[in-house]
Structure 1
């Protein structure tokens, strides 16, 4: 392996031009993990948040014990929301072992980007009990977009044995004073044929806000 090329990649990872950094990261992804991971670990220790985030992205390309442990260290010691959200994405590449870690990250973080990232990742899995627990917590969040992500997550839970619990929460939001919560509830109900869901969709079709009505009509047709 060409040592000069490795050294050039390390330099390019720290280049000012973003396209150079990205190209170097892509090239490093093709290297053996025993070569790439130490380079990325070194990069992760940089004070520059952009460089640390780049390192975290790269670690997701190498599903080894060393890269997994490096990501755990980042979760433990880094406080930047952008870095932690990227770490969640990289951890997700490791499969089921990452699920409890993502739940823990959600519970201890109050950063909107971190929380929304975790919710979106969990929605790609079949870990419905974890998704439901995270969704319930997100409904208490002061950040509206996090709350809305939680409402949409409840829609995915409607397909499971937790349907009744999810419907109970969606029933509350179907009558919420803020139209955006009713709007997201209408979207979450898409395709659900439970009698209570159909009742809520009929109710939302009569809503005072046009976006809620449109979403309810689409959900009913689905």
Structure 2
């Protein structure tokens, strides 16, 4: 790529409108990694958080050892959780080797956006042991939305080797004091057809909260 065009793309990513930044990122995704990565690395240190966010998105388009190391280094100095959550998304492009990094980020970062992003990512990682460990910690989170995301993630485990562990946790949550925990539990149980799940749902159908009852009734409907 000609140097003038690279300069134009860098300018678009630094200060362009959102559609211009997206267009620049799409073009860089088709650019050879050895050309795109140094540019994206520079932008990842920009003062503008939006510029940094687009830069780490771009690094995810070039999953090489160099870009992986850059993303790991950024985790140590980035303070904005919008950017951190985007780093987490980009890390997932590197496959299994990113999972331990994401787990450590979850353990040390307690911001709701970063935590919810990581839970959602790990639901697609097919590493049930790690997901369950993260869920257990998230269930202790003071932010309700993080806790609810973790409860819904238990539904993912109902189809795997840890289905019984997930069911046991959901059974406890079905008796939680907060109706939102019981509500999300009913939704998560939608993914299980086991007798224990049906028994829990039957009890939730008698719940004092109408949102919980509605979710339990919906989860009990036959699925194609």
Q: How does 1:88-167 map to 2 (within 5 A)?
A: 88-167=88-167
Structure 2 residues not aligned, in runs of 5+: none
SS of the equivalent of 1:94 reads helix
SS of the equivalent of 2:51 reads helix
Q: Compute the displacement of 1:175 (Å).
A: 1.0
The answer to whether the Cα contact below 8 Å between 1:29 and 1:62 also exists between their aligned partners in 2 is: yes
The answer to whether the Cα contact below 8 Å between 2:156 and 2:191 also exists between their aligned partners in 1 is: no
Runs of 4+ more than 3 Å apart: none
Tell me how far apart the structure 1 counterparts of residues 120 and 66 of structure 2 sit (CA, whole Å): 26
Map of 2:85 onto structure 1: 85
Map of 1:32 onto structure 2: 32
* Deviation by residue 1:40-82 (Cα, 9 ceiling, x = unmatched): 0000111221111111111011011111111011112112111
Q: Which moved more, 1:3-12 or 1:153-162?
A: 153-162
SS of the equivalent of 2:191 reads coil
SS of the equivalent of 2:70 reads helix
Scaled by the length of structure 2, the TM-score of the pair is 0.95
The answer to whether the Cα contact below 8 Å between 1:191 and 1:220 also exists between their aligned partners in 2 is: no
Tell me how far apart the structure 2 counterparts of residues 140 and 191 of structure 1 sit (CA, whole Å): 23
Structure 1 residues not aligned, in runs of 5+: none
Q: Compute the displacement of 1:160 (Å).
A: 2.3
Q: Across the two proteins, how many residue pairs are aligned to each other?
A: 222
Tell me how far apart the structure 2 counterparts of residues 108 and 47 of structure 1 sit (CA, whole Å): 24
Q: Compute the displacement of 1:86 (Å).
A: 0.2
The answer to whether the Cα contact below 8 Å between 2:99 and 2:125 also exists between their aligned partners in 1 is: no
Q: How does 1:1-222 map to 2 (within 5 A)?
A: 1-221=1-221, 222=223
